[in-house]
Amino acid sequence: MKRVVRGLVVIGCSLFSAAPMGAQARWTVDAAPVLDIKGVNDKGDVAFGVALGATRLSSGALVVLDGGQPGLKFFDAKGQLSKTVGRAGQGPGEFRYVLWMGQCAKDTLFVWDPPQQRMTVFDAGGTVVTSFRPTGGEVLWLACSRSGAVGYAGTPPREGTVRSVPQGATYAFLSGESKIVLIDTKGAETATLADALGVEMVLPGRGGFPRPLGRPMSFAISATRVFVAATDSTAVHVYGLDGKRLSAIPVRVPPRKPTKAQYEAATDVILLVAPPQVREQARKLLLEIPAPEQLPPFSAIFTDQEGMLWVQLTVPGDADTQFRVLRADGQAVADVRVPINLTIHEIGADYIVGSRQDDDGEQHVVMYRLHRGR
């Protein structure tokens, strides 16, 4: 797997036209990262294997969720590895496998272990605070806000799914809707959204994976709102933290047909969160499955610490990464263009944290300074 990534600059215009933008702010990002952490340092020491997430603490330290050696890697403000927390196992603070990390309260890290269906909570020093298992069933997708709202969704209920097997195929498509459940930081359920997250999976033999370049299975949470990619993928639905639907934000972009490079890149991104022992075989199977006829209008959604909604308009394999930034009422604030392919982990008030791979396939976690124009 190799994704070519170079420098980063964000400008206040877009190649996509979602809606008349009117007077927009120009938002920029410094051309060079303020922090660039390589998976393997210049001495050959492994800092992390696979970066499945990253978040910045108030101290300036950066924490990376390592899927290669399941655990948390703490880096100081200069990018030096200062601490490793967690290891393989089933005891307190141990993981069988990690999938997701969120800073769901200030300087408090929530880490999800799918095989154990267990959330482990760490403080800023890496000490285990608590752990819990949600009671609402299997958990596959998660999101949270720093104000303490956590949401999750799992596989659709059996009676609500459609399973189709193309003629002569050795794989099947599964589609349906999965309820999004909101919980507090102790795992207690607080609300269930009125609508659901659209799910589109491909089943190549045993197990299942999100369909590469399929509908976005994405939702994001701010201090006051929950944003959900609509089932038809043409809008973002907005909910209150009580689960009630408030509005919908349309996302209009010109239709595009996927390319082979985009399909391969999207497959590789999906497999980053797959257990290492199945990645090679799963990649071979997924690449034999035809790509969708059209790309989705957007591929993921995020919120930043200012409560803004960031809609990612591009897909893996594109030459750049483009976002539409909107307020919760749907008013467009800025278009952001990143002239590289970047996986976003966190958008802060004045920074962006993501991961990339260089020309040699070496993984990096990078942080860029964000300047929000008026």
80-137 pLDDT, tens digit each? 999 999 999 999 999 999 999 999 999 999 999 999 999 999 999 999 999 999 887 7
Q: Give the integer Cα–Cα distance in Å for 114 and 204.
A: 20
pLDDT of residue 24: 63
Give domain status of residue 326, yes or no. yes
Regions of the chain short of the pLDDT cut 70: 1-24, 158-160, 205-206, 374
Inside any domain, residue 18:
no
Rounded-to-integer distance, Cα 116 and Cα 90, Å: 8
Dist. CA 364–CA 279, nearest whole Å: 20
DSSP readout, 201-225? EEE-SSS-EEPTT-S---EEE-SSE
- Domains held by the chain: number: 1
- Residue 195, C-beta contacts closer than 8 angstroms, at least 6 positions apart: 177, 228, 231, 237, 239, 245
Asked if 87 contacts 94 with a C-beta cutoff of 8 angstroms, the reply is yes
Three-class secondary structure of residue 260 per DSSP: helix
- Residue 5 falls inside a structural domain: no
pLDDT at residue number 348: 93
Give the structural domain span for 340. 28-371
**CB 150 within 8 Å of CB 120:** no
Gyration radius of the chain over CA positions: 19
Tell me if 259 is assigned to some domain.
Answer: yes
Encoded tokens for 79: 């990018």
* Per-residue confidence (pLDDT) for residue 41, from 0 to 100: 82
Residues 197/164, Cβ–Cβ less than 8 Å: no
| Cα separation, 159 vs 270, whole angstroms | 26
In a 13 Å sphere around the CA of 92, the CA atoms on its Cβ side amount to 8
- pLDDT in the model for residue 5: 34
In a domain, 297, yes or no: yes
- Domain with 115 in it: what CATH number? 2.120.10.30
Its pTM stands at 0.89
Residue 20 in domain: no
Do residues 211 and 202 make contact, with C-beta atoms less than 8 angstroms apart?
Answer: yes
CA separation for the pair 53, 344 (Å, rounded): 9
Specify if 14 maps to a domain: no
Contacts of 98 by beta carbon, 8 Å cutoff, 6+ apart:
52, 65, 66, 67, 70, 71, 86, 111, 112, 113
Q: Give the per-residue pLDDT at 14.
A: 38
Residue 218 lies in a domain: yes
